[in-house]
Amino acid sequence: MIKKFILFFACLLITGVFSVNSQTLFSEDFSSGTIDTSIITLKDEDGLTINPSISPPFPATASWVVLQEQGNQNYYAASTSWFEPEGCCADDWMILPSVSIGDFTALSWRAMAVDASFPDGYEVRISTAGTDIADFMANPPLLAVPAENSTWTEREILLFDEGYTNTDVHIAFRNNSDDKFILRLDDIEIFEIPSLDAAVEGLIEPTTVCEKTNSEVVTITVSNSGVNDISNFEVYYSVNGGAPVTEVITDTLAFTESMNYTFQQTVDMSQAGPYEFTIGVNLTNDENPDNDEIDELNVFTLEPQDVSADPLTMGFGPSDDFLGWIIEDANDDGVTWRITDFSPNSGDFSAGYFWNEFEDADDWLFTRCLHLESSNYYVVEFYHSIAPDQNDYFERMKVNYGNMPASGSMTELVVDLGLMTNDFYQPSTNVISPASSGTYHVGFHAYSDRDEWALLVDDITVRQLEVPNVNFNYSINDLTVDFNDLSTELPNNWDWDFGVSGGVSTQQNPTFTYDDYGTYNVCMVASNQAGSGTAHCEEILLEPIGIDDIYQISELSVYPNPVKDQININVEFTDFQYVNITLKNNLGQSISNIYEGEVNQGSWSLNMKNLPAGVYFIELKGEEFNHVEKVVVTH
């Protein structure tokens, strides 16, 4: 079954099978801000000195410490394997107090590696004797995690499945990483699992989208959190405090099994929301009522956003509105889009797809519903990148749009980026025009090969295309003038009038050579699918003086041109000049600030290999001059 998720800010809450239990034997969430060493034993077996870059917050030598998560009040235990000088390996132990376990005891915790590029690993070990290291090493590890995920990950171990029942045990967490960074642990719990325990985990359908009907399907996820099989138990839902709709699941669920159940009775959501759902289960002799019901589940019926009057913008930050945004894990591999603070384009967050070692990506990120008119043209713009400094790991993405937030409905192509190699953010600006007026969603489809790295998207905008704001600049070389279009709004037609009989062009960035010196009134009109902009005119004075006198430049070279990878810039002035040298795209947008400061002569090199093929400009700007060199990038 294809998995779909509503996109929320912060993190995706995954309800663990054993997150609520009937008898807790031990728990530690480090909320006191310290580790109570009167009951928890810490052992620094490596004795290595922690790298001073993280000392503080770590002391010079330590096994485990408690730190506070940035931006909130959560505390967690942390251990590092980054030492000075570099040494192998960490051997830091956190040993829990003795616990008397019964027939069906489980251990759960949360963990994460702070840096995805340097993921820490660790072991979970058990002792039925004492707290000496030899007591733990006498038994195989309960779990070995070679590289933890870079987001909080819930984990659990069934101790009875490992052969441990009705005895006293110590549990130990051991950081044994080799020159990584920081490992976090939190919410450690040891508990007994009930014999009979049905649980409701979440509402799958309906979700917050547009244009609901009077017969919306209701689907919930239920699971067996007890040791014994369960069957023939009731499930129910109610809407806005109304009478519950109750049906019976006849399937048998074994321990830890879950299923999605779709009710036969639908719900009328044709009127404006919100709709508050309560969902639950009823099992005879259920030993844990705490996970039987979830209430205050709000589902909204959205009005389509009219992007002509109210453009859609999404920067994935805490102030952005995620209502109606949906993720689809189309290949159901459990790896899909998420909000991440890993290398945003702007602000603190972006949307990211991170690799699956075994399966190719097939994952969609859908915008909320948008109202588009067939008589209009619209701009879909976003910024995209692969993981920084990971040029050996390439990604693939295309963008489509369609009437529903589902992969099968994404029938119209916006752009296929194909193989993405840019390890820095680049804009993609595209124009679409729907065949008919109505409600649409834009979908970002990650289809990278398996075992790559990271695909990042940020600063998404969908708006109506306006007529161009016409503008251009130029550079003079005696009687020859290079003109550069700076018009906005993606023009696709240009009409130039160079101010002399027969002096016209329809190129975007033409070069024109005049017969005589003098003053010429040059005008240009740019147009796009939305219409023509207002003509922009400039008076150009051509005088019989050299470029040296005009620009105080005695030498200027930009080579090779056209360029595939690296371009070189050499300049020499007649005296010291304060200059700003900038690389710009064909829209006049600055891509790279090459140099700013005082110089008499200088040389610079710029890597162009990750730029899309096309026309660019190197602008050399001083207090009394502005010179532009056209550069063509080919691959």
Taking only the tens place, the pLDDT of each residue in 181-240 is 999 999 999 999 999 999 999 999 998 878 788 999 999 999 999 999 999 999 999 999
Average pLDDT over residues 578-585: 88
CATH topology of domain 549-633: Immunoglobulin-like (2.60.40)
Question: What is the chain's length?
Answer: 635
* Same topology between domain 198-302 and domain 472-542: yes
**Residue 500 predicted with pLDDT over 90:** yes
Distances (CA, A) of 140 to 125, 147, 591: 7, 19, 55
**Span 198-302: which CATH code?**
2.60.40.10
Q: Which two tokens stand for residue 552?
A: 């105080």
Query: Which of the given ranges, 32-46, 205-219, 571-585, has the highest pLDDT on average?
Result: 32-46
Q: How many beta carbons lie within 10 A of that of residue 1, not counting itself?
A: 8
Distance between terminal CA atoms of the chain? 42
pTM of the entire predicted model: 0.58
State the pLDDT at residue 289: 93
Instruction: Mark 194-220 as b/e (b = at least 16 C-beta within 10 Å).
Output: bbbbbbbbbbbebbbbbebeeebebbb
Give domain limits for the chain: 23-192, 198-302, 305-464, 472-542, 549-633
**Span 472-542: which CATH code?**
2.60.40.10
Q: Are 229 and 310 in contact (CB under 8 A)?
A: no
State the pLDDT at residue 10: 31
Average pLDDT over residues 426-450: 96
**Whole-angstrom distance, CA of residue 157 vs CA of residue 135:** 20
**Residue 431 predicted with pLDDT over 90:** yes
**Span 23-192: which CATH code?**
2.60.120.200
Average pLDDT over residues 615-621: 85
State the pLDDT at residue 611: 86
Percent of the chain with pLDDT over 70: 94
> In the CATH scheme, what architecture does the domain 305-464 have?
Sandwich (2.60)
